[in-house]
Amino acid sequence: MNQDEFGFRVRQALNDGAERLDYRTVLRLEQARRQALGRQRRAGPATVRLPALQLATAGAPPIDSGGGAWGWLRGAGLVAPLLALAVGFVAISHWQEELEIQRLAALDFAVLLDEGPLEAYADQGFGVLLQAEQRADR
Amino acid sequence: MATREELSEFLAGVERRAFKQAVFAVRDESHALDIVQDAMMKIAEHYGDRPAAELPLLFTRILQNATHDFFRRSKVRSTWVTLFSALNPDAEPDADPLETLEASGDTRTESTETSYEREQIVAIIEEEVAKLPARQREAFLLRYWEDFDTAEAAAAMGCSEGSVKTHCSRATHALAKALRERGITL
Amino acid sequence: MIDGGKRRAAARRLLLAAAVFAPALLLARPAQSQNTAPAGGPAWSQLSPQQREALAPLAGQWTTIPSENKRKWLDIADKYPQLSPEGKTRLQARMAEFARLTPEQRRTARENFQRAYELPRESRESAVEQYRLLPDDKKKELTERSQRKDAAKEAQKK
């Protein structure tokens, strides 16, 4: 066997090892990746302003023309920040839901790749056996 | 300029190997995670605007720097690693272990192994890779796991192509010998 | 007539209240029961060829899958290309069965899987072997015992 072939075989083993990573590690790597992507450096102009903010601040009517419920808010110059807050909260809520979906996807991915029988995993009774093993371990 | 998709695809493809390589270097999974996280953040923040083709080399350098930083910060190199570095002779007076491996017959063992046996073998190979001296391990993994050619590996490691070839060949011989001694046929 | 200063103070209080309560209101959306949620989300024909290749075992049931679950499966489809051939085969072999489980069963499967992986390998395998050897009626007993425990815990909370 020459060096390249040896290297190739070792590579296969290393790839196997990389594929068998603990699902918790895989999940954390994924989270790290998404965080990093959020900070990707881009050549060019800075971040786009939120449309809601633009709508709220652009063409804001003068104080005394404000009417109805929002009139006094506009007068106090608070529509824009409140709208931004609302948009922000909606964004956080979507983001949290997105995180949860990613978490479940990583978990299900691990369950599917695992060798343990699915019918066992899906059975609450199996959980009893697992808990017994947990107690035996302590 | 790498698009978000290109950066995402690159990181998704490399993250598991990067984690494993960091574990080989620092022997600790949670430190390895930190190192990979740091490296991802750095490449995105400082080099996210480079063309996609430059990402592999950049990431490797960042990862290696992060690993070396870790050792510098912790000040104490793992004695385990130092011990084995000392024990790994550079010169090979006895028979070429690669030849011995081939001579031991059937090399296509995957079909007869159980998945459990395969796991054991993989674990042993990982152990022995981790025991390699740092430069040898880096050169070997860059050539055979990251598919860098000698020039790229030299650029990544900051040394000459000749050095890369030497490190690589020493790594191969050390690995082959170690695996033979542990009864592994590849 | 309320003067400007008091108006601004009231507005500030409103802002503070919004800051404190709005997240709770928005995040505490009622969890969509996966049993009754409409099967929205992209149609099978709208998926990319790569996604369809990855999720092929689900083609038959795709229309019945709730939209959040569809998003989760699409996430999984993204990870598919990185697997080895053996990994791909194993993933797909279990996919259809997993998708056919009830939401309850899937929740149990995730819990059991995580519990199993807290254990060392030998304990995990021992539990699997014990389960395999159990006759069906004993399995039922165990399941019922566990469900009774859950019901008791729920009753205690109230």
Mean pLDDT of chain B: 83
Residues 64-93 of C with CB under 8 A from B: 78-79, 82
pLDDT the model gives residue C16: 61
Give the fold, CATH level 3, of B4-74. Answer: Rna Polymerase Sigma Factor; Chain: A (1.10.1740)
- Running along chain C, 158 residues long, what does each successive block of 10 average in pLDDT? 59 61 49 53 93 95 91 91 82 92 93 83 86 91 87 82
Q: Kindly list the domain boundaries of chain C, sorted by start residue.
A: 42-100, 103-158
**Residues of chain B with C-beta less than 8 angstroms from the C-beta of C82:** 12-13, 16
Which of C8, A13, C143 shows the shortest CA–CA distance to B175? A13
Between CA B186 and CA A84 the distance in angstroms is: 61
Q: Kindly list the domain boundaries of chain A, sorted by start residue.
A: 1-39, 51-138
**For B76-112, what is each residue's pLDDT tens digit?**
444 444 444 444 444 444 455 565 544 444 444 445 6
Q: What is the DSSP letter of A63?
A: G
Give the fold, CATH level 3, of B79-181. Answer: Arc Repressor Mutant, subunit A (1.10.10)
CB B31 within 8 A of CB A25: no
Q: How many CB pairs under 8 A join A and B?
A: 123
pLDDT the model gives residue C36: 46
- Partner-chain contact A32 B15, CB within 8 Å: yes
Q: Kindly list the domain boundaries of chain B, sorted by start residue.
A: 4-74, 79-181
Which of B77, B71, B90, B168 shows the shortest CA–CA distance to B129? B168
Between CA B133 and CA C133 the distance in angstroms is: 48
Helices (H), C28-135: 49-54, 67-79, 85-100, 103-118, 121-133
CB A50 within 8 A of CB B47: no
Cα maximum dimension of chain A = 88
pLDDT the model gives residue B176: 95
ipTM of the assembly?
A: 0.80
Answer whether B4-74 and B79-181 agree in fold. no
Between CA A25 and CA A17 the distance in angstroms is: 13
**pLDDT over threshold 80, residue A119:** yes
pLDDT the model gives residue C4: 58
Is the model's pTM score more than 0.80?
A: no
Residues 13-72 of C with CB under 8 A from A: 14-15, 18-19, 22-23, 26-27, 29, 68, 71-72
